[in-house]
């Protein structure tokens, strides 16, 4: 599915070892590490590290630790790019394209964000039925809620803009990134939590479980705007407005 591993530009990265290159993704700009989740799952030392008494005391409230454990336990058969979980990918012009990818904080998305939105929406629908709201009010509310759910799904599963690996400098404005062993353009940032270089990187949003970058920023803005709008709408409908 992927092209053979690339060799770095020796003039730009003379200190890179052969192990660094072999342990990185052959196409995308990732940090060195296990190529699959199953390989990392075999490293029982890392899994047990989070359960050691002194580690849990220091980092037990860190969501990164708990999410890492759940990823190793649940995602062994999924694809991997850095610390991103690849659920679906394809080839376009002999280059991999990520169609469905989850970020490292996917447990927050699955067990907190989605249940919270579904629960609030379910309660609002119950109130609309209880108050005898007109069908067109329910239809408009359902359409707006569907838009919110669609935005949340798209922002959490869309490739945020993971940069391919560039071992040669495309132009003088690109800078070498030693963490991912690649050249990167202005605005592209290596994120340690995701383990990849993201174009147009803005931040990592635990609520959506992933990084926010150039390719999912529009969906993130739609999601945030929908959340605030639906808070107002749901409160108004639950209080008896428009019924």
pLDDT digits (tens, 9 = 90+) for 186-225: 999 999 999 999 999 999 999 999 999 999 999 999 999 9
So what's the pLDDT on residue 138?
95
pLDDT at 10 over 90: no
206 contacts: CB under 8 Å, gap ≥ 6: 63, 105, 108
Query: Residues 116, 117, 120, CA angle at the centre, nearest 5°?
Result: 85
97, β-bridge pairs? 90
Segment holding 84, helix H or strand E: strand 84-92
So what's the pLDDT on residue 128?
94
So what's the pLDDT on residue 12?
44
> 132-172 pLDDT, tens per residue?
999 999 999 999 999 999 999 999 999 999 999 999 999 99
Q: What is the share, in percent, of the chain residues with pLDDT greater than 70?
A: 79
212, β-bridge pairs? 203
Q: What is the share, in percent, of the chain residues with pLDDT greater than 90?
A: 65
Nearest to 202 by CA among 157, 166, 155, 164: 155
Q: Identify which has the larger pLDDT, 95 or 18.
A: 95
121 contacts: CB under 8 Å, gap ≥ 6: 145, 234
CB 75, CB 209: distance < 8 Å: no
So what's the pLDDT on residue 20?
46
What is the mean predicted confidence (pLDDT) over 3-16? 44
Note the pTM of the prediction, 2 decimals. Answer: 0.82
Nearest to 104 by CA among 78, 123, 126: 78
So what's the pLDDT on residue 8?
46
Pairing of strands 203-205, 95-102: unpaired
Any alpha helices (H) in the chain, and if so which ranges?
Answer: 18-22, 37-41, 44-49, 53-59, 63-74, 106-108, 114-131, 135-157, 217-238
What is the mean predicted confidence (pLDDT) over 44-52? 53
Q: Identify which has the larger pLDDT, 66 or 61.
A: 66
So what's the pLDDT on residue 45?
55
Q: What is the mean pLDDT of the chain?
A: 84
């Amino acid at each position: 599915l992927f092209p053979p591993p690339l060799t770095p530009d020796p003039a730009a990265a003379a200190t890179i070892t052969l192990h660094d290159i072999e342990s990185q993704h052959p196409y995308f700009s990732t940090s060195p590490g296990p190529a699959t989740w199953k390989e990392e799952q075999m490293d029982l030392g890392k899994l047990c590290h989070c359960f050691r008494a002194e580690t849990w005391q220091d980092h037990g409230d860190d969501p990164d630790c708990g999410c890492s454990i759940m990823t190793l336990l649940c995602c062994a058969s999924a694809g991997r790019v850095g610390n991103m979980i690849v659920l679906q990918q394809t080839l376009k012009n002999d280059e991999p394209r990520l169609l469905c990818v989850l970020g490292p904080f996917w447990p927050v998305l699955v067990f907190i964000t989605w249940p919270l939105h579904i629960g609030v929406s379910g309660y609002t629908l119950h109130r609309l039925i209880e108050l005898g709201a007109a069908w067109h009010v329910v239809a408009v509310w359902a359409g707006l809620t569907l838009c919110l759910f669609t935005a949340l799904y798209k922002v959490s599963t869309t490739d945020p803009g993971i940069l391919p690996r560039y071992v040669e400098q495309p132009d003088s404005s690109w800078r070498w990134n030693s963490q991912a062993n690649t050249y990167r353009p202005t605005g592209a940032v290596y994120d340690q939590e995701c383990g990849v270089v993201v174009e147009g990187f803005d931040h990592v949003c635990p609520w959506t479980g992933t990084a926010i970058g150039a390719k999912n920023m529009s969906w993130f803005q739609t999601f945030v705007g929908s959340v605030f709008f639906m808070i107002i709408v749901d409160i108004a409908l639950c209080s008896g407005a428009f019924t």
